[in-house]
Structure 1
Amino acid sequence: MSFVVVGYLNDKFGGRLIVIVCLSVLGLTTFFTGRINSIPSFVLIYAFIGSFASSGVGFVVIHSILSKWFSRRRPLAISISVAGGSIGPTLFAPFSAYLVQAYEWRTALYILGAFIIFIGVPLVVVFLRTQSSNNLPDFEKIDDSKTLNQEMSGILFTNKWTDALKSFPFWQISLAYLVCGITTNILSVHFVPFAEDQGIPKLTAASIFGLMMGLNSVGVLLAGVTAMKINQKFVLGAAYTLRGIAYLMLLGVGGEVGLIMFAILGGISWLPTVSMTSLLLADIYGVKNLGTINGMSNMYHQIGGALCVLLTGEIQQMTGSYDIPFVIAGLTL
């Protein structure tokens, strides 16, 4: 639900304000998580307030801002932002691990919280600006045959976000995004244990998973460049098709070879679904209510992912195998 709330606030007050406030709150919750001494305080500070604040600096708000900044180069701009969301954890995960090892976890959280507040927030204040839909960056060229309003509005432009819920494309995209949540979140949590069930050593499985995560950025950037030339819906369809083939490799070939083939195809197709979904929603419904509409669609992604992760664990406990939940996840594609 947090995606819907921050998306609505973004549409009402502007993305710049939402990012500044949420990033500040995220920094404070990171800092004060280092001072928790009970499970209730952990749930309140980290799981509730912290996770809500992180939604305000996530793709729902950022993509809404970028969609108002860019028109013709929107596919590439949004894809670069998604790639940044993948590269960031790659850099900060080892840095965070180093801090924990060097100073213990509480001090590490103090340092990370201070980093967000004293470096991240000022950077946003200085460089991030809310681009009005009445303007575009200087380098964005508009076709003479079209008005700026036509470029920034969608074919089903809505004055109220609730109107989007009455249209068929919203549910097509959102149900596809639910499948995306199912087929990616299951991997985020259960990939290494699944590989171990196949007789793959944990270190090898983790390395293959790292390969898949490394290909995320490559895949989304390729998708962004491709979407500059062809319709985004074809790029999105290709991404889901590749992921379906990846699941066939994982379940049909099996073993280390199947895992590697899956990592390559699954990695390339992992993040393009995020960028292309935001792009399609912007193209169809325009940018006026994009934050709320995208937040609604993202909610289904999270619901699918959360239910799948939970049910996968339960089925594995009952059957002693990951085969059934992974087959079900693959069939949803």
Structure 2
Amino acid sequence: MKPAIMRKWYYGWNIVIVTSLITMLTVGTRLGAGPFFNPMLDSLGISRTLLSSIFAVSMIVYGIGMPIAGYLVDKLGTRFVLLSGAVMIAISTVWAVCSNDPVSFTFAYSILLSLGLSFTSPIAVTPIVSKWFTRQWGKALFYLSTGSMGGIAIMTPIFTFAIEWVGWKTTMLLLAGLFLVLIAASTLILSDDAPVNTDLLPGQIMMNRTDLSAPMISLDKWTDALATRPFWHITFGLFACGFSMNLLGSHGVPMLMDHGFHEHTSSFSIGLLGLVAMISSVFLGNLSDNISKRLMLSSIYIFRGAEFLLIVLIMSEWQLYMVSAFGGLVWAGSTALSSAILGTMYGLRWLGILYGWSYFIHQIGGAVGVYTAGWGYEFFGTHLFAFGTAAGLSALAGLVCLRLPAYNKISVSKGEEV
């Protein structure tokens, strides 16, 4: 009997692990703002609409920083961008906790902190992960997205308990310290110099590498993509994604509390959604390299729309937990699939900058969603308006993504995966 051959651990998975942790902190800070909302409201003494507007500005600035981060990653490398982001996060956090008026708080929290977070966002690390993978590209991007889901699942409950224990200001300072430690350590592991043949097996190197390097749509410059429909189909989907995700992240806990659920129950349900999404992303990652990405993306958006309609209508705890678990199944993957499709359509050369601009629209959607939630509640006296809008946009995004051009999946020989 021929002994089994043990394959060496592929270094690219170290890149995925480290970048997933960075993404978890970044997305957790940006989408886990819900537990901070009421304490900040009391501390600053401002209206719900004004604080929602401040949160909305933070979403826009976070989005503006995305293409800047993508451009700088291409020119100066991933490590430089991440370290710059960590420094901005540290400075802005100290400034924010020392602010006593909404103007100063807006400059610190909404502008400088958001710009720093954009430099540690998925946009900054997606290109380096993509460089290290070919055969398991979709899986790697899905595994990277577990960091985003972990930001919801892990950071939201942690923020809730930490704020109760030490207050929102100390919680933010501890978070900034964690950013500095993690990103400083990550620079010892991250490398932009991926092997020429990435993770391809010996029999796949000549057959597939050339095929993958050729995009479906050739561009002379990245701005040419703006004249193509697939870019805007993907971007509209990310707008709907940003609207819904940031709505839930900023107003999910306050909405559930307004509906009579305890603060811990509310934060746990959002955390449960993220936890199920982490598990789901592993499963979907294994599928993503074998079935149509556009059909997966469309299905995720349509089912997510149903989840947003259900979560605002539930009446009991068991219903809340069931809806959260259901939502978690389809919460993961929209950003991973969007970036993979962009890379396939236009090539890895333009992925960072195009994904950055698409994510900028994602954050505009987030800003609109956050503002709509605050304004809609004060104007209509209900959260149904904002969450119903999220449901409609998600369903429409699913239909739009069905119009993405189909492309032939690159055939790969079967082999052991690491």
2:100 and 2:140 map into 1 onto residues whose CA distance is 42
Residue 276 of structure 1 corresponds to 337
Residue 371 of structure 2 corresponds to 310
Q: 1:45 to 1:317 in 2, by over 3 A?
A: closer
2:247 and 2:207 map into 1 onto residues whose CA distance is 44
Paired AA for residue 277 in structure 1: S
Residue 166 of structure 1 corresponds to 227
1:44 and 1:196 map into 2 onto residues whose CA distance is 29
SS in 2 for 1:156: coil
Contact 2:152 2:271 in 1 (8 A): no
Q: Within 5 Å, give how 1:140-289 maps onto structure 2.
A: 143-144=204-205, 146=207, 148-196=209-257, 198-250=259-311, 254-256=314-316, 258-289=319-350
1:193 and 1:96 map into 2 onto residues whose CA distance is 14
Residue 73 of structure 1 corresponds to 136
Residue 89 of structure 2 corresponds to 26
2:255 and 2:163 map into 1 onto residues whose CA distance is 28
Question: What is the number of equivalent residue pairs in this alignment?
Answer: 330
The Cα shift of 1:311 comes to: 1.7
Contact 2:247 2:370 in 1 (8 A): yes
The Cα shift of 1:293 comes to: 0.3
Paired AA for residue 44 in structure 1: F
The Cα shift of 1:235 comes to: 1.7
1:99 and 1:199 map into 2 onto residues whose CA distance is 22
2:81 and 2:213 map into 1 onto residues whose CA distance is 21
1:57 and 1:188 map into 2 onto residues whose CA distance is 18
1:258 and 1:74 map into 2 onto residues whose CA distance is 36
Paired AA for residue 130 in structure 1: D
Q: 1:137 to 1:123 in 2, by over 3 A?
A: farther
Residue 86 of structure 1 corresponds to 149
The Cα shift of 1:285 comes to: 1.0
The Cα shift of 1:212 comes to: 1.4
CA-to-aligned-CA distance 1:112-165 (integer Å, 9 cap, x gap)? 444433x32332221101136x82435665735546343234211324110111
2:169 and 2:261 map into 1 onto residues whose CA distance is 34
Question: Percent identity among equivalent residues?
Answer: 25
Residue 130 of structure 1 corresponds to 192
Contact 1:197 1:322 in 2 (8 A): no
1:75 and 1:288 map into 2 onto residues whose CA distance is 17
Residue 3 of structure 1 corresponds to 66
1:47 and 1:267 map into 2 onto residues whose CA distance is 28
RMSD over aligned Cα, in angstroms? 3.0
Range that drifts further, 279-288 or 155-164: 155-164
1:323 to 384, 388, 407: 384
1:19 and 1:326 map into 2 onto residues whose CA distance is 34
Range that drifts further, 23-32 or 87-96: 87-96
2:168 and 2:231 map into 1 onto residues whose CA distance is 43
Paired AA for residue 268 in structure 2: S
1:103 and 1:208 map into 2 onto residues whose CA distance is 22
SS in 1 for 2:290: coil
Contact 1:186 1:309 in 2 (8 A): yes
CA-to-aligned-CA distance 1:171-203 (integer Å, 9 cap, x gap)? 111111111122222222232343345454444
Structure 1 gap segments, 5+ residues each? none
Q: 1:142 to 1:174 in 2, by over 3 A?
A: farther
Q: 1:198 to 1:40 in 2, by over 3 A?
A: closer
2:80 to 6, 17, 37: 17
With normalisation by structure 1, the TM-score equals 0.85
Determine whether 1:121 maps to 2:189: no
Paired AA for residue 370 in structure 2: V
SS in 1 for 2:188: helix
Contact 1:24 1:116 in 2 (8 A): no
